[in-house]
């Protein structure tokens, strides 16, 4: 079964079967496929549910939930995505011969009145269960309201690297669902074509191709895109590679790892800051004054066509998000320098933040993300590691809400960060004993 692009709006096959059972219809796979495509376009067609409706839309649909939400959303929460699901199921099934026959079953004569009264009683009975359930759900919603991130993506432009798969893809989908326009960077044309075919045609996404392992590729792709750097409200460096099983002495892998995981962040920040501030000029001037070469800093480039006026209003603040790793706190053998590159990224990110603050560039905030392990494709999946896995969707949510709030560091989940720091405090010998058992994942 294909992974759902927008779980808030779409339903999986099991949920579809539950909806059909609720409506007393026979599930049909070809109708489900059409429904799924229709619902994949919902984030771009219909108003996004907020507040309590959104809270109720997140859990999976079971028959019990569907029966409750059907009545409640009709009466109180018309923006809930279930309304589109139920309406879509009725529409598709009424155009289908079998579905129409099932829907159009109607009694005749006096039995019609019994049916009408029966349905009225069933509705009242449903409400007598659904209303207390709604009150209970409200309590849960109100209790968690303080810790719930505010929605702030609508109308913003997000630039995300590594959207071809994993966390980057999730971040892109979250941004699209939240009403943002996404400029995504993928590694190859094949990845772009695959992703384009997967996304609904109405999705506000522009995909750029840049192999971040090639120095300057990201900068070139961004320049050629004619996108105004100042229009980007949130820029997330999510792309990363990891050469499992390769010695930290393998120079080619080490260079590639640093290029993708670290230097591409420099390129991204350079493009963002350079087009809208004089940071690079100041840096270069200072370097010249010191008599040293401004190595690694590109000369000030002319603004790309269209960038000067921008194809969109300037964002008042740009959130720069660098996805590092909790692995940055400790070494790891045979990782091709992955942990070292993430350490460099975290420290460099903090340095960038300091530099921006010192120069008074209040337009930028820098958020360093150091997540625990999650299903990214980089971590070997064992029974033990799966226990430690944190949901990738939750990591994406935390990153976006933390970045929008301008937090300097995000380490989801908190308990994993505490565990890592505890291990870091017990000394290198003990750390070695713990990590020595970690087997590398075969290199891809």
Partner 1 sequence: MNRVVVVGSGVSGSHAALTLLERGHDVELWDVGRSEPPFPLHGATFHELKDRLADPIAYFLGSGLDALVPPASPELLRYPPSRAFLTSAADELWNFTSDGFSAYGSFAKGGLANGWGANALAFDDNDLAEWPVSFADMDAAYKTVYDRIPVAGPIDDELTPYLRGVHISQPPVRLTGSDRRLLDTYQRRKSKLKKLGVTVGCARLAVVTDPSRADACDYSERCLWGCAKGSIYNPRQSTLKDCETHRGFRYVAGRLVLALRSKGNSIDGIRYLDVAARQIREEACEAVFLAAGALQTGAIFLRTLKAARAEAAPRSEGLLDTTVVKIPFVALRSIGHPADARSFQFNRLIAGIVSDESTPWPRYLHAELLHLTSLIYHPLIERLPFDTRTSARLFFALKPALGVATLFFPDRITSGNQQRVVDHGGITERVELHYRESEDKERLIRQSVATMRAALYRLGCLPRGIVRSPPGGGIHYAGTVPMGEGAKRCDATGRSNLFGNLYIADGAAFPSLPSKSITMSLAAHATRVARLAEL
Q: Provide the binding-site residues for partner 1, judged by CB under 8 A.
A: 22-24, 31, 34, 37-38, 45-46, 67, 70-71, 74-75, 78, 83-84, 86-88, 90-92, 94-97, 100, 103-113, 115-116, 119-120, 122-123, 126
Cα separation of 411 and 349, whole Å? 15
We find the least distance from the C-beta atom of residue 99 to partner 1, in angstroms, to be 9
The nearer residue to partner 1, 74 or 362, going by C-beta atoms, is 74
The nearer residue to partner 1, 75 or 214, going by C-beta atoms, is 75
* Angle between helix 338-358 and helix 251-258 axes, rounded to 10 deg: 30
We find the least distance from the C-beta atom of residue 97 to partner 1, in angstroms, to be 4
CB 300 within 8 A of CB 274: yes
We find the least distance from the C-beta atom of residue 37 to partner 1, in angstroms, to be 8
Closest to 225 (Cα-Cα) out of 142, 285, 168, 157: 157
Other residues' Cβ atoms within 10 Å of the Cβ of residue 30: 9
The nearer residue to partner 1, 25 or 186, going by C-beta atoms, is 25
We find the least distance from the C-beta atom of residue 112 to partner 1, in angstroms, to be 4
We find the least distance from the C-beta atom of residue 314 to partner 1, in angstroms, to be 24
We find the least distance from the C-beta atom of residue 17 to partner 1, in angstroms, to be 15
CB 200 within 8 A of CB 44: yes
The nearer residue to partner 1, 14 or 112, going by C-beta atoms, is 112
Q: Helix, strand or coil for residue 235?
A: strand
State both tokens at 233. 């409200």
We find the least distance from the C-beta atom of residue 8 to partner 1, in angstroms, to be 16
DSSP 196-221: HHHS-TT--EEEEE--TTSTTHHHHH
Element (H, E) at 366: strand 364-369
The nearer residue to partner 1, 78 or 305, going by C-beta atoms, is 78
Place of tokens 């009424």: 94
The nearer residue to partner 1, 107 or 144, going by C-beta atoms, is 107
The nearer residue to partner 1, 67 or 294, going by C-beta atoms, is 67
Cα separation of 229 and 244, whole Å? 35
Cα separation of 394 and 264, whole Å? 25
Q: Angle at the Cα of 19 (from 128 to 77), degrees rounded to 5?
A: 55
We find the least distance from the C-beta atom of residue 23 to partner 1, in angstroms, to be 6
Cα separation of 275 and 305, whole Å? 12
The nearer residue to partner 1, 42 or 236, going by C-beta atoms, is 42
* Angle between helix 29-40 and helix 81-94 axes, rounded to 10 deg: 140
């Amino acid at each position: 079964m294909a992974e759902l692009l927008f779980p808030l709006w779409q339903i999986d096959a099991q949920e579809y079967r539950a909806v059909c059972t609720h409506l007393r219809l026979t599930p049909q796979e070809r109708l489900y496929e059409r429904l799924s495509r229709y619902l994949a376009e919902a984030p771009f067609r219909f108003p996004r549910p907020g507040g309590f409706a959104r809270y109720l839309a997140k859990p999976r649909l079971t028959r019990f939930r569907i029966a409750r939400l059907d009545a409640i959303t009709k009466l109180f929460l018309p923006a809930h995505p279930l309304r589109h699901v139920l309406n879509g199921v009725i529409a598709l099934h009424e155009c289908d011969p079998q579905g129409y026959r099932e829907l159009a079953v109607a009694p005749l004569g006096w039995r019609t009145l019994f049916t009408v009264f029966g349905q009225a009683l069933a509705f009242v009975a449903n409400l007598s269960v659904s209303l207390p359930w709604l009150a209970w759900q409200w309590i849960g919603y109100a209790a968690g309201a303080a810790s719930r991130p505010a929605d702030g993506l609508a109308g913003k432009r997000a630039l995300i690297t590594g959207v071809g798969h994993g966390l980057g893809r999730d971040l892109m989908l979250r941004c699209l669902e939240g009403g943002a326009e996404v400029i995504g960077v993928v590694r190859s044309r094949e990845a772009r074509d695959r992703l384009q075919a997967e996304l609904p045609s109405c999705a506000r996404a522009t995909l750029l191709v840049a192999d971040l392992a090639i120095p300057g590729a990201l900068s070139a792709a961004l320049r050629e895109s004619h996108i105004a750097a100042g229009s980007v409200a949130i820029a997330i460096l999510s792309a990363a590679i990891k050469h499992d099983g390769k010695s930290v002495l393998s120079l080619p892998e080490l260079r590639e790892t640093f290029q993708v995981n670290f230097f591409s962040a420099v390129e991204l920040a350079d493009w963002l800051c350079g087009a809208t501030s004089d940071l690079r000029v100041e840096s270069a001037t200072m370097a010249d004054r010191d008599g040293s070469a401004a190595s690694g800093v590109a000369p000030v480039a002319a603004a790309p066509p269209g960038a000067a006026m921008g194809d969109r209003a300037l964002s008042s603040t740009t959130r720069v998000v660098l996805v590092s790793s909790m692995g940055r706190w400790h070494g790891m053998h045979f990782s091709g320098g992955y942990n070292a590159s993430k350490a460099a990224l975290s420290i460099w990110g903090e340095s960038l933040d300091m530099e921006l603050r010192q120069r008074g560039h209040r337009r930028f905030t820098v958020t360093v993300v150091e997540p625990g392990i999650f299903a990214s494709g980089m971590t070997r999946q064992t029974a033990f590691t799966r226990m430690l896995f944190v949901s990738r969707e939750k990591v994406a949510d935390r990153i976006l809400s933390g970045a929008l709030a301008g937090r300097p560091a995000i380490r989801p989940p908190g308990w994993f960060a505490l565990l890592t720091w505890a291990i870091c405090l017990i000394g290198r010998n003990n750390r070695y004993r713990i990590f020595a058992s970690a087997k590398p994942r075969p290199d891809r």
